[in-house]
Structure 1
Amino acid sequence: MSLFAWFRPRQVEESIRQRVAQLAAPAPLSEDSLRSQRWVVLDLETSGLNTHRDQVLSIGAVVIEDGAIDFSQQFERTLYQRDHKLTSSVLIHGLGPSAIAAGCDPAEALLELMTFIGDSPVLGFHAPFDQRMLARALKDHLGYRLQHPFLDLAELAPLLNPQLTLREAGLDDWTACFGLEAIARHNASADAMVTAELALILFSQARRQQLDSPALLDRQIQRWRRKGLQNHGF
């Protein structure tokens, strides 16, 4: 095999391309109230933390709509990965070879996910990681460019709660701070659900701080991020 064959983009079937073309385009973040926005809360379990090499193994997502978690709108898939290698990460997420072997076709699962997301913005905890992993999977399997806005609750929580100092500031720390408890940690669906519960608490705080729109919240996060960089001398 030619060395250059490794760099050729994966061929996407015509039927997949047609379905990709029918996906809804992402909407810009709204200036309307937080309550009026449909949000998709996303969590991924992966084979590791390398966004260039590791794979998406499972996806969990839940919808926040009309200011509440809509339990009728939930998404859960485990993805089949042909070249998946057993690593120490299985001790965290519990997705062993048999679970991966029984998983869904990645292209089909990703198409179903993007249909589920529609034009909605995405919420996550440490969202940039999930965003990069999902973007790479979508490009590899669907030839699709992810452009949906992502908001990171790991940034929003300290922004809205400057009086709190948490040593680790992970999802467990913030959920414990507000008395929340995940059914099972490092399970994509359970993590998405507890992340959605945390989001509702933070949205309530945001409204009290006159940050009552997705676009306004995003601008405030960007200002908070720039201020943090300046304080660290970057």
Structure 2
Amino acid sequence: MLKKFMNKIRKNSLKDKNFEYLFNEPPKDEYVCLDCETTGLNPKKDEILSIGAVIIKKNKILMRDTLNIFVKPSKGINSASIKIHQIRPVDLENASEPKEAIFKLLEFIGNRPIIGYYIKFDIAIISKYTKEYIGISLPNHQIEVSSMYFKTIKRRSEYEFVDLKFDTIMKELDIPELGKHDALNDALMTSMIFLKLKDKAPANTTFYTG
């Protein structure tokens, strides 16, 4: 009830009614898995440098439906952050303007639920842009794969530690590692995590976190 009320408020706040489709009922058994590479870990002040996304439909990753965009930052990127995301200034020479990139992303996502690893960060930083361009934060349902993994682990007590690092989850699920710190590769690996866990989670588990 609360979510419906909040979505009604968001829908009324849209600057452009062409984006009302974001509030439509999502298609059955379709998801989008996405990942962002950013200048830092503060969504309020940092910027998106690249976005990778793939569509999952009926337990299959649609490799023909991928999105891989470099995004032009408002200022130069520092050498410390390059060591983390490995995106160099030369990689951004033909990057898209932020508004163009975000609109392409919204068109790609549609009203599908969004899957990710610590997806709240990605949603928060994307929403910084969508609030500016269309007046609202991203309204799509969110599915957190680390939460899915946690719910499948059998623990001897509720206090037992569970390692939720991305590398650990990949290793435990025997998923091949693609190139790291590449938004599209990260989205693909996260998609494989989701598909491995989708049928393992308890029957009463809800995947939606937002």
TM-score by length of 2: 0.82
Question: Equivalents in 2 of 1:85, 1:198: separation in Å?
Answer: 31
For residue 128 of structure 2, the aligned residue among 132, 136, 140 is 136
Contact kept, 8 Å, 2:34 with 2:187, in 1: the verdict is yes
The equivalences for 1:1-234 within 5 A come to 20-23=16-19, 24-27=21-24, 36-163=28-155, 168-206=163-201, 209-211=202-204, 217-218=206-207
**2: distance between equivalents of 1:87 and 1:136?**
24
Query: What is the deviation of 1:170?
Result: 1.4
Structure with the greater alpha carbon radius of gyration: 1
The verdict on how the C-alpha distance between 1:102 and 1:142 changes in structure 2, with shifts beyond 3 A counting, is farther
Task: Please list every run of 5 or more consecutive structure 2 residues that lacks an aligned counterpart in the other structure.
Answer: 1-14
CA apart distance, 1:183: 1.5
The alignment-based identity, stated in percent, is 23
Are the aligned partners of 1:81 and 1:101 in contact in 2 as well (CA < 8 Å)? no
| Structure 1 residue matching 2:184: 3-state secondary structure | helix
Letter in 2 for 1:185: K
Runs (5+) with no aligned partner, structure 1: 1-16, 31-35, 223-234
Distance in 2 (CA, whole Å) between partners of 1:163 and 1:70 is 35
Structure 1 CA distance for aligned equivalents of residues 32 and 161 of structure 2: 26
Number of residue pairs the alignment of both structures matches: 192
Amino acid at match of 1:159: K
CA distance in 2, matches of 1:45, 1:188: 6
In angstroms, what is the RMSD of aligned CA positions? Answer: 2.4
TM-score by length of 1: 0.74
Residue 27 of structure 1 and its aligned partner are, at CA, apart by 4.0
Q: Which moved more, 1:173-182 or 1:85-94?
A: 85-94
How far the C-alpha of 1:160 sits from its partner, in A, is 1.8
1: CA distance, partners of 2:85 / 2:110: 27
